[in-house]
Amino acid sequence: MLISFSVKNWRSFRDQQSINLVASAEKQHLNRVPEIAECKLRILPTAAIYGGNASGKSNLFKAFRFAQDMVVNGPSGKTRILVEPFRLDSVSPTVPTEFEFVFLVEDEEGQSSPYAYEFSLSQDRVLKEQLSWIKKSRDIVLFEREDGKPPVFHKILAKDKNLIAVLENTRNNQLFLTNAASQNTSNYQSKQILHILGWFNRLTCISPNTSAIFTPQAITGNTDPENNLLYQLGTGIFRFDFIDENLPQHEIKNWLDDRSEEYLPAFIKHPSGSRFVIDKNENGLQMKRMVSVHRNDLGQDVRFDLTDTSDGTVRLLDLLPCFQDAARPGSKKIFFIDEIDRSMHTLLVRRLLEGFLELCSPQSRSQILFTTHDIFQMDQELLRRDEMWLTERRRDGSTELIPLSSFKEIRSDKSIRTSYLRGQLGGVPKLTLSTLRPSEFQE
């Protein structure tokens, strides 16, 4: 589980800002807050980030996505690191960009331990990388790597000769964890490193343009309308069919781009809105077009290409599998969704959130973070105060991240939505009627 994420000198985040998912002492919705007994922690299952346009909501999402991708994939070869420092002062473009994840990792016996992983970057190199094991009495630095200094391994990892060799062969523009993941992990004696690598692989970032990442069958389930969640949500879709696209093998490979054939099936979204599934069989690569199936007044199947499907339904196809996966018993997935309300009716968003939160319990280990403008969800009957955050753009152009739990005057029986719309909490667009007046032109 994610405990906190911090960013500094990334886009509009000049100063270090953190989103913290440790539950406060408030009692609201306590029955659905995951409890980590061995760490004596309660970790929130969700976080909603509000704010005006250009306040930094999406920049937080992009920071999280970039940092996770830097760990999981990293830049290739001698490629420059695509850091984006704050640009509205003269100093920030010359100093490092910094990220930190604090998270819980479970071992083989189901025991959770907190770790802190931080790294700082310039455009051409990793300047610092550190992994710490957070113990009750003190933090144990498992490894530390700093530009211009020899790397340091704690004795827990120093006995793993394969890890030492990986570190020695890590490029200047690459994280040690990234290089460790790319090697044969079965050679590692350290299970801690494997668990940590697995944690980063379970992070999933969903932007407004992200295509479906799960099988369509997982979305529709039973074609019986009473058991078909997609149909129940008012889309009219009973199921999905797949129509063969008779293309030569080399053309199908072009559709895969740089994706490895090991990770098939691949779900591909064409700019037109059509979606395809590429898989492999005894005859080689096979490509199929995904179509939705509705029913006419005679009960007969009618097929529609997804280009004929509403934007809201297409967005639902991308989000529904995420909520289903997060709500699955035993799930440890973490989803960060940017603009969860994009093209979606507010009641539909509400139903998705309610469905996930109703299944959360002290034993849950999955989380959903999201940015939104949808103030209908800013409701203490749905979310706790410590699960709601605001992004506020300062006068100097930098973003501040503010937890609603810091406003002591907000009682549990108070309408947060009303206070927010009145501008009493910040995080709202700064627009006056005079801004909209047309300019006066003189002849």
Of all residues in the chain, the percent with pLDDT exceeding 70 is 89
pLDDT for the residue 213: 55
Q: Which helix (H) or strand (E) holds 243?
A: strand 239-244
Higher pLDDT, 79 or 66: 66
Residues contacting 381, CB < 8 A, separation 6+ = none
Q: Is 283 left (phi over 0), alpha (psi -120 to 50) or beta?
A: alpha
Of all residues in the chain, the percent with pLDDT exceeding 90 is 53
Determine the Cα–Cα distance for residues 260 and 133; give it in Å rounded to an integer.
Answer: 34
pLDDT for the residue 439: 57
* Lowest mean per-residue pLDDT among 44-53, 123-132, 307-316, 422-431: 422-431
- Is residue 142 scored above 80 in pLDDT? yes
| 119 alpha carbon, distance to own chain's centre | 19
pLDDT tens column, 364-389 = 999 999 999 999 999 999 999 999 99
For the ranges 170-174, 250-254, 316-320, 368-372, the one whose mean pLDDT is highest? 368-372
Determine the Cα–Cα distance for residues 197 and 58; give it in Å rounded to an integer.
Answer: 25
Residues contacting 49, CB < 8 A, separation 6+ = 19, 57, 60, 369, 370, 371, 372, 389, 390, 391, 401
pLDDT tens column, 199-254 = 999 999 999 877 655 554 544 444 455 556 778 778 888 888 889 998 888 888 88
In this structure, the number of other CB atoms found within 10 A of the CB of residue 111 comes to: 12
* Lowest mean per-residue pLDDT among 68-72, 164-168, 422-426: 422-426
- Is residue 428 scored above 70 in pLDDT? no
Q: What are phi and psi of 148, to 5 degrees?
A: 90, 0
Higher pLDDT, 272 or 423: 272
Please state the rounded mean pLDDT for residues 16-43: 95
- Is residue 332 scored above 60 in pLDDT? yes
Please state the rounded mean pLDDT for residues 379-408: 93
Tokens of 360: 């959360």
Instruction: Return the DSSP state at 263.
Output: G
Determine the Cα–Cα distance for residues 372 and 391; give it in Å rounded to an integer.
Answer: 11
Confidence of residue 434 (pLDDT cuts 50, 70, 90): low
Confidence of residue 427 (pLDDT cuts 50, 70, 90): low
pLDDT for the residue 220: 47
Chain length of the chain: 443
Please state the rounded mean pLDDT for residues 70-98: 93
Confidence of residue 431 (pLDDT cuts 50, 70, 90): low
pLDDT for the residue 265: 77
Q: Supply the pTM of this predicted model.
A: 0.88
Determine the Cα–Cα distance for residues 174 and 428; give it in Å rounded to an integer.
Answer: 39
Please state the rounded mean pLDDT for residues 179-185: 83
pLDDT for the residue 222: 47
Determine the Cα–Cα distance for residues 356 and 46; give it in Å rounded to an integer.
Answer: 10
pLDDT tens column, 96-136 = 999 999 999 988 777 899 999 999 999 999 999 999 999 98
